Amino acid sequence: MDFLLRVAGLEKRYGDVKAVQGVSFSVAPGEVLGLVGPNGAGKTSTLRCLAGILPPSAGRVVVAGYDLATDAVEAKRQLAFLPDEPRFFEYLTVWEHLNFTARLYGVEDWEERGRALLEEMELSGKEKSLPGELSRGMKQKLSIACGFLHSPRLILLDEPLTGLDPIGIRRMKASLRRRAEEGAALVLSSHLLPLVEELCHRLLVIAGGRAMALGSLDEIRARLSGPGAEQASLEDLFVRITSAAGGEKSSP
């Protein structure tokens, strides 16, 4: 199987603190991988390493066949990273952000795509607004629109539903599902376990910077022994797995 994301032995250290330790996994086209773990487990550090924002301390990350260490520009061209706290250039308008993104990724039909994305994200009419004039949810939608503009093959999402209203959440979920069906690979980090359960094909549970479990919900359930393991919800599994890792030193 050709994977769109291959991670092998990923490690990230901050001084003496090991935030991510030897994490390995792969994500295939059309697959949605859920990244779950308690606060400080190393999820955001993992996502930042995958996006090429933080240099890994060790390990290898390959995006659509491009090694992030040796072919960073091509690898980044294939992916989109949507952070939990969207960051914008506050002096560029909504439309100029799309224009800027289009030039960076060479999206020639960006105006057509941009209009469709703004429509999808209910941002039509906000083209001339500055980020400072947008609500938290609108900023999240703009971040998503910029991220989707170049039709990335790998989408990394850190708490993607933060700040969205119920309709926005429904649209976002449908949009993510559609992109996965179209062949994009998604890595989704969230504390919203029902969302993870609903959207993700497989789960990677991280605690203390280590991968504690990897597989589909049924596979993880099957691996866990003990009373009532077969009927355990994701929340139960999460508590069990992360409690087992309680002795681990968590990252800051």
Site residues (vs another protein, CB under 8 A): 13-15, 17, 19, 40, 42, 44-45, 48, 51-55, 72-74, 76-77, 81, 83, 87-93, 96, 99-100, 102-110, 128, 130, 132, 251-252
List 186's β-bridge partners, or say none: 32, 155
Task: Return d(Cα 52, Cα 12) in angstroms, integer.
Answer: 12
- Nearest distance, CB of residue 13 and another protein, angstroms: 8
- Of the pair 32, 47, the CB lying nearest another protein is at 47
- Nearest distance, CB of residue 37 and another protein, angstroms: 12
From residue 154, give the alpha-carbon distance in Å to each of 120, 148, 164, 185, 219.
20, 10, 22, 5, 24
- Of the pair 93, 175, the CB lying nearest another protein is at 93
Contact (CB, 8 A) for 142 and 121:
yes
- Of the pair 48, 141, the CB lying nearest another protein is at 48
- Nearest distance, CB of residue 222 and another protein, angstroms: 32
- Of the pair 17, 174, the CB lying nearest another protein is at 17
- Give the three-state DSSP class for 81: strand
Contact (CB, 8 A) for 121 and 140:
no
- Residue 67, Cβ neighbours under 10 Å: how many? 14
- Of the pair 19, 214, the CB lying nearest another protein is at 19
- Antiparallel, parallel or unpaired: β 32-36 and 202-207: parallel
Task: Return d(Cα 252, Cα 248) in angstroms, integer.
Answer: 12
- Nearest distance, CB of residue 227 and another protein, angstroms: 35
Task: Return d(Cα 89, Cα 125) in angstroms, integer.
Answer: 19
- Nearest distance, CB of residue 14 and another protein, angstroms: 4
